[in-house]
Amino acid sequence: MSSHVYPKEKEIFPGLQLEKVDDRIMTLNVGPQHPGSGHMRIILKVDGDYIVHCDPDPGYVHRGEEKMAEYRNYITNIPHLERPVIHDSCNILYPYCLGVEELLGLEVPERAKYLRVIAAELNRCVYTQYWLAIYGIFLGHSTMFMWPMGDRELVIDLLDKMTGARVTHAYFVPGGVRNDLPPNFEDVCLRQVNYFEKRLKEYADIFYDNPILISRTKDTGILSREDAIKLGTTGSVLRASGVDFDIRKKEPYDVYEELDFQTNVLKEGDSYARSKIPWLDMFESCRIIRDALKKMPKSGSVRVKLKPNPKGGDTEVYRRVESGRGSLGMHIISRGKPQPYRLKISVGSFRNLIAMPHLLTGEMLGNMPAVYWSLNYWPVEADR
Amino acid sequence: MSVIAPKFRLGYLIKGITDNIFWIIVLMTLIGIPVVQIVLIYIDFPVIDGEIWNPFRVFDAMTHPERALPLVKNFMQTDLFKIVAFPGFGFAALIAAAVIFVERKMLAKLQLRVGPFYCGKVEGILQLMGDGLKLISKEIIIPAKADKPIFWAVPVLFAATAGAFVALIPVAPGWVVADIDLGLLAVFAVIGFFPIITVLAGWSSNSKFPFIGGIRALYQMVSFEIPLILSLLGIVMLTGTLNLSEIVESQVNFPWIIFMPIGAIVFFICILAELERIPFDLPEAESEIVAGWLTELSGMMYGLVQLGSYLKLYAFAGLFVVLFLGGWNGPWVFPIEPIAEVITDGIVIMPDALVIKDIPGLPLFAGEMINGTIWFVLKTAAVIFFILLPRGVFPRVRIDLLLKIGWYKLIVLAFVNIFIALALVYSGIIGPGGIM
């Protein structure tokens, strides 16, 4: 397909040449009350149907998570730290727990490590299904909104059995996980994950192989390998641009090095590749869960006993994990008190947002939803 | 998975139906009869031929079949009945309501959900009525800087134009509101009004997103109007007439879709674009331009536009049936022979003062009319099903791809269709000089 790509050079831009003519350039405030924006605003300047300038304006759901963390001790920080992305709450707690364990010098039991991996991968599926649903409805595909939302219930049910809550599980604690599995969980989990994988394959028929979807998203918003590295993007955006980078492989934490999975990398760097990578990652998640269920010790403790109000040393620690939206790091500075002195959260969403003006300038207005949501951007998490 | 709605049970269904019937009877008795009684107190009964015509006598006379049926039949021949009830607005609105219900339930089944369920107790059958009540009761908000007269006129114009389109569709032999010789040309003229209305809506609401939506609607409809008109020229060549009823009569033996499948496909795609349905719903693309040219419309103004768009859907499906699928032609599915006793030449139904001389005889409906209507409705339902189906299957196309489809592909295919028609005419196989 030879799509008409608007030239990106400034000289050939009729919009930029005629920028003084006020009538020609129209400013569109996409958001925060726009159905296609999420909790943010994108200030677009359009020349006809072409976007000549794009200025993302996040911050509408800023909640001061980092400052709040300074007033609570290491355990009471858990429930509010998972609020930024409630669908992926295990993954956002993961670096915090790893960091605090390093600060306090805790040794996590083997079974707890496996349970964490299972919970994190299930949560990645929940998040990705939600993301996929919104990607579908952004492109006007209502069936692709309903199917992932329905199938997401399978995984949510599993997490419900495992942790006791549908979202915001608060399952990870420094030193392990909060509770052990319910009886007979392994069989139910295997059955549901297998069915879930079967359903995932059906998405290809209705969505990923759909000729209209391919014609809309192929060759739009191309992010080259060099630009992807230079802009500091991460996660599925980076892997869709041909960079083989997955923290689960490159800096394995817990038991990821013992598990059997692969990293999905596509070379195209367009919206289609960016939308396909999370879907392919879900298959890997299913594989990881099956493998972890097989290799997990059948019994044993899942949590080490903590002193009340534990204090960290006079050190600092930085740990990062691969979340549904890419690298998610937490930098914890401790000054010998029960509370962290400073907690800095580095999220994948915010890092991918930087690519948005780069990709949207010169695109058509009709490509805005396809490019915007393919960045795997979660406004609430980005604002923290 | 958690249960979203209770499972279907025949008992609940029957209970729902009987409940509804019970309440209708109760309300009719409690409200209807006292109202009638109160009204009758203030009416002086006429005296004809020395007899007081009290309500009982009038009712007796009216419900006597020999007297009532000719009156009803006489009423059915009037233009008022045709416009308001049968081939006109009432029939179309009924089909439109059924379409909305079927669309919701079908889409829900496709997407593994339940759809409307509670309203009306029987599978959400009164959901549309609830939505209508909601729209009527809502406040109409008009933007401060809107061009108010035009903004007010837009929904009315849209519904009225769609109604005019409905009036041109022949449903059964002789049953068409406006049976004009240039019917197809009138259809093109009516279709040409819709982009103007959408641009007026976008312009008069004085807002950015409706403006973009209006402009998009303009160039979508204009660029798809050309292949739409071209795809129908083949039929005009073969039949030699623009009258829609005559086009239907020319398909007694076979529908034109056999000879012109390409034209039918082009016309069908153009229907989707003209109706702004997925995958061509760019003028209302939610994630890009909020609701397009409908953004600032609120309350019943929006309701009127929706009514108009579903009337338009019915009219386009009906046009497809009339032109390509043979309209009312079909095997005899309703074999009712008129009973000899009820065939009358017209009777004196009232005393001398009210004699109506030329009341036609019974039966009420000709057999052809019932049979034709059944076939027309069945075919229209099939076409509407295929118009609704893409909504569950396709995403939205982009505007440049849409225009490319319209200008590069559909126009070329429409010309191919015209050449096929020309070849058929000149080879003498079929057409005005051929076997037809």
pLDDT mean over A152-178: 88
Which among A35, A142, A150 is the nearest to B392, CB-wise? A142
User: Do the chains contact at B286 and A140, CB–CB below 8 Å?
Assistant: yes
- Domains of chain B by residue range: 16-76, 89-426
**Cα(B402)–Cα(B277) distance, integer angstroms:** 13
pLDDT exceeds 60 at position B274: yes
Q: Give the model's pLDDT for residue A336.
A: 84
Tell me whether residue A59 is in a domain.
no
Could you report the predicted ipTM of this complex, rounded to two decimals? 0.78
DSSP A377: -
Ramachandran bin of B29, using left for φ above 0, alpha for ψ from -120 to 50, beta for the remaining angles? alpha
B19 touches chain A (CB under 8 A): no
Q: How far is A352 from chain B (nearest CA, A)?
A: 20
In a domain, A31, yes or no: no
Mean pLDDT of A10-37: 64
- Name which of B84, B163, B155 is nearest B304 in CA terms: B155
Domain for residue A213, yes or no? yes
Interface test with A, best of B208, B215, B398, B403 (most A CBs within 10 A): B398
pLDDT at B175 over 80: yes
How far is the alpha carbon of B400 from chain A, nearest alpha carbon, in Å?
8
d(CA A240, CA A274): 5
Q: Does A204 touch chain B (CB under 8 A)?
A: no
Q: Does the beta-carbon distance from A142 to B111 stay under 8 Å?
A: yes
| pLDDT above 90: percentage of residues in chain A | 10
Contacts with B, A 205-234, CB within 8 Å = 206-207, 210, 212-213, 215-216
Sign of CA dihedral B295, B296, B299, B304: negative
Is the separation of the CB atoms in A172 and A328 below 8 Å?
Answer: no
Stronger pLDDT, B436 or B268, i.e. the higher one: B268
Residue A40 located in a structural domain: no
Which residue segment(s) compose the domain that A268 sits in?
A: 65-350
> Per-residue pLDDT for A60 more than 70?
yes
Angle subtended by helix axes B261-274 and B367-388, to nearest 10: 70
CA B157 to chain centre: 17
At A253, is the pLDDT very low, low, confident or very high (cuts 50, 70, 90)?
confident
Question: Interior CA angle at B403 toward A375 and B146, to 5°?
Answer: 80
Candidates A142, A154, A365; nearest CB to B288: A365
B87 cis-preceded (ω within 30 degrees of 0): no
Mean pLDDT of the region A13-41: 68
Q: Residue A18: pLDDT above 60?
A: no
Average pLDDT, rounded, for chain A: 85
With respect to residue A152, please indicate whether it lies within any of the assigned structural domains: yes
Q: What is the DSSP string of B341-396?
A: GG--S----S-GGG--TT---S-SS-HHHHHHHHHHHHHHHHHHHHHHTHHHH--P
Q: Minimal Cα distance from B389: which residue of A?
A: A143
Domain membership of residue A327 (yes or no) is yes
Classify residue A283: in a domain, yes or no: yes
Of A376, A318, A323, nearest in space to A349 by CA:
A376
At A10, the pLDDT band (50, 70, 90 cuts) reads very low
Upper half-sphere CA count for residue B392 (Cβ side, 13 Å): 18
Q: What was the pLDDT predicted at A128?
A: 92
Whether residue B353 is predicted with pLDDT greater than 50 in this model: the reply is: no
Residue A208 is part of a domain; what is its CATH number?
1.10.645.10
- Mutation target to probe the A interface, by most A beta carbons within 10 A, among B278, B286, B288 is B288
Beta bridge mates, A319: A330
> b/e per residue, B2-21, with b = 16+ CB within 10 A?
eeeeeeeeeeeeeeeeeeee
Neighbours of B110 (CB within 10 A): 19
Collect all residues of chain A within an 8 Å Cβ-Cβ radius of residue B400: 3-4, 49, 364, 366
> What is the percentage of chain B residues whose pLDDT exceeds 70?
87
> A150 and B113 in contact by Cβ < 8 A?
yes
Average pLDDT, chain B: 82
Q: Touching check for B399 and chain A: CB below 8 Å?
A: yes
Beta bridge partner(s), residue B117: none
CA distance A124 to A130: 10
Q: Looking at residue A179, what DSSP letter applies?
A: S
Structurally, how many domains does chain A consist of? 1
Nearest one of A155, A149, A152 to A193, comparing CA atoms: A155
Q: Is residue A143 in a domain?
A: yes
Mean pLDDT along residues B103-114: 87
**Per-residue model confidence (pLDDT) at position B355:** 47
Report how far residue B136's alpha carbon sits from residue B124's, in angstroms, rounded to the nearest whole number.
Answer: 20
Q: What is the pTM of this model?
A: 0.81
Size of interface A-B (CB pairs under 8 A): 93
